[in-house]
Amino acid sequence: MSTPSSPKAGGAPPLHRLLANAADAVQAVREGHSLTDWLSRCPADIRPGVQALSFTVLRRLGAAQAVRAALAPKNPPPRVDALLVTALALLWPGETAYADHTLVDQAVHAVRQRAPNSAGFANAVLRRFLRERDALVAAAEADPVARFNHPRWWQDRLRADWPDHWQALLQANQQKPPMTLRVNPAHEDLPSYLARLTEAGIGAHPAGSLFPQAVVLDEPRPVQALPDFDRGHASVQDASAQLAAPLLLGRVRPQDLSPDEAWPELGAGARVLDACAAPGGKTAHLQELAGNRLDLLALDADAKRLERVRQNLQRLALEGTVKAADARATADWWDGRPFDAILLDAPCSASGIVRRHPDVRWLRRPEDIPALARIQAELLDALWPLLKPGGRLVYATCSVFKAEGQDQIDAFLQRHGDARARQFDRGAGHLLPLAENAGQDLAPGAAAVTDGFYYALLHKS
């Protein structure tokens, strides 16, 4: 995997350098590496431009690879191929960030710097694409991978799980996601923070009544531009992710409760486990809503990612014990005191957040889904005995695959007779990133507000 190259000092980096780095990022993903990890090593002054280009390319990767194969059936060297694929994706109809001739010129410049003998070949391929673009695009889109820009197995799984929505889900993954904030009620309410955003010249609107703390920005902004972000007045968090804390704390009353059945909110001193806590958005949200009065333990198996949890809690002036541990290995970390409530935001395919992480579709393999489902089941079975009778566990995944959602919980309920899944009219079950998902109460025009999530609230009898 290549290392990101730094731009020359002074001025904006030239386009050919951005293209070269974006091509390296795409090639890293094709070799099985995380785009997030690669970008973390990209020089800060070119990272935004490289990220924007690589996101666009990864959303068009299936189509660009198909056209490259049609134009040059013999595979060029990997770094030349990655530059060609990058340029083809950015030359695709609808991508208008740069003029065609500028993009071709700068892409050929990048090839010439890396493989001088391939510059003429790259120039011929790209100029032929411009001449025959309509016909080449039409031919490529006859292939489902090129048409939908997702692996075939992914399309097949979505079609099986959501026969009425699978194409809409694939198309939703191609959209740029909104930037959504969670307003901290310890400082101010949502209307007042919206007013402060307006004063700062930042357009925003509420996400909808299902998400009482969620504000959607009209355009993404650096967090430094947000009013009092550094003082903890707001956090960046998708609206769907903001459902976990109120479900666990009892802010939402299940609709299947009998009239005389109590459903108390968790109070001060309640013992709560966040079992897979990193990067800490849900951890912090729990303490925000509870007034920082929970006895909260945040676990994660990744000690490096746990630092993000600590940073989040520190910025928001919130308390919590943070520990590196595999939640399944309870003998290594549990002190024997049962929990009132457990949040299990389980490792998953991330199939519900592809628009935010466009590399995920290309990194996952079909065998990953059953492997992840096994880990999810192991976590559920290991944590359930740690819950008090009468306690509650929220199981969450950022996935739209039923194997990681409803099928997982159906199997768990078969294994545990003392578990009951509580029912809600909204906010639980599979939440699809689609306007027609009736379970979501969204603001007008907010079809793309939410990511895809699954939630189940399990009650221990």
Please report how the helices 78-90 and 15-30 are oriented relative to each other, as an axis angle in degrees rounded to 10. 110
Take residue 105 and report the two structure tokens written for it.
């010129």
**Best CA proximity match to 439, nearest among 260, 257, 191, 239:** 239
Q: Which amino acid is at 232?
A: G
Strand residue runs (E) in 105-202: 180-183
Catalytic residue among 42, 276, 348, 398, which?
398
Q: Is position 42 annotated as part of the catalytic site?
A: no
Query: What angle in degrees, to the nearest 10, is found between the helix axes of 133-140 and 61-71?
Result: 120
Residue type at position 87 = A
Three-state secondary-structure class, residue 419: strand
Q: Which of 418, 424, 423 lies closest to 390 in space, CA to CA?
A: 418
Residue whose C-alpha is closest to residue 460's, from 410, 393, 406 = 393
- Phi and psi, residue 343, nearest 5°: -105, 120
- Ordered DSSP codes for 147-171: HHSS-HHHHHHHHHH-TTTHHHHHH
Helices (H) and strands (E) in the chain, counts: 18, 12
Whole-Å CA distances, 124 to 68, 208, 396? 12, 51, 50
Query: Residues with catalytic annotation?
Result: 398
